Amino acid sequence: MKKLAVIAFGGNALLRGDQSGTIDEQEENVYNTCTNLLELLKKDYDIVIGHGNGPQVGNVLLQHEGGFKMFGIPAMPIDFCVAETQGSIGYMIEQQMRNVLEKENMERDIITIITQVEVDKNDPAFQNPTKPVGPFYTKEEADKYAAGTGAKFAVDPRGRGYRKVVASPKPMKINNIQSIKNLARDGQIVITVGGGGIPVFHVEPHKLQGIDAVIDKDLASSLLATQIGADEFYILTDVPKVCINFNKADEKRLDRISIAEAKQYLAEGHFAEGSMAPKVRAALYFVENGGKECIITTSAELGKDAAGTVIYS
């Protein structure tokens, strides 16, 4: 049987921190990332793609708020905005992946699934928002925006400014998981759990409803990879390897680390929340629940020997 890999797009795979987010910028980034996926496709992998939406969903929220202020158009909640970005980002990935495949004379169907992911409405994350969304602000801009809207902001651990933070509950159940697995095993390239999935919960038995949150895309992709029996899980970010003592004189890049080592580094505080810590937790979930290995790296490293940081069981 072919190897099955789940690849979680993030970082500069979609939008770089110094970019404004134009369609040309995003399409170029996506095209380059899809080109790098060729290394896996040429090795005859079946692949499923997850993706983030932090900058995009934040911008969509601002657009809704601006439309309400200027024209009285009702603003939609976060779950609705996540659905919007699943469709728009899925469209970009589909189109650019098709462009890459046609250039290589390769043929595969590419399918985007608008995916709801169930969460627990009593998850403690709703009392402690930590998930960054939207653009970066100066402290003065963030303070002004918070005063006017009640939004919460947190400083970026890499010093790029302040970002709005929202609740990030744990994903509990991915809807249509069997169909995702069947499509992938049939050779289709499947794009799913975009932005971590549309967060929903049972407001009463047999009735789903959206909830104001953003699910971490790496954790949702990890759950997805576990449930479809993926052999490998790739988390694409904007650094080639995970580091300890990051941005310090004694910074050290990590090549291969065990579950025990990863947990030790987490406990010692080497990985920042809102940055590398959730990626390492997602990797741990995968390898502790049947996965062989998780690789955290940039898209440019895909398919190379000794690429990225490998976390293994």
CATH of the domain at 228: 3.40.1160.10
Which one of the listed residues 196, 210, 279, 308 is annotated catalytic?
Answer: 279
For the stretch 133-172, pLDDT in tens is 777 889 998 898 888 777 889 998 878 899 888 899 999 9
What was the pLDDT predicted at 11?
64
| Known catalytic membership, residue 195 | no
d(CA 129, CA 135): 17
- Active-site hit among 164, 181, 217, 241: 217
> Please, which pLDDT band fits residue 12 given cuts at 50, 70 and 90?
low
Outline where DSSP puts E strands in the chain: 4-9, 46-51, 110-112, 116-118, 131-137, 152-155, 162-166, 173-174, 189-191, 198-204, 207-210, 232-236, 243-244, 252-253, 256-258, 293-297, 309-312
Of the chain, the percentage scoring pLDDT greater than 90 comes to 70
Range of the domain at 52: 4-312
Active site residue 217: yes
Q: Is 117 helix (H, G, I), strand (E, B) or coil?
A: strand
Of the candidates 12, 36, 53, 59, the residue annotated as catalytic is 12
> Is residue 11 among the annotated active site residues?
yes
- Count the domains in the chain: 1
pLDDT of 125: 94
SS3 310: strand
Determine the pLDDT at residue 1. Answer: 78
Residue 12 among the catalytic residues = yes
Active site residue 181: no
Q: Which helix (H) or strand (E) holds 284?
A: helix 277-288
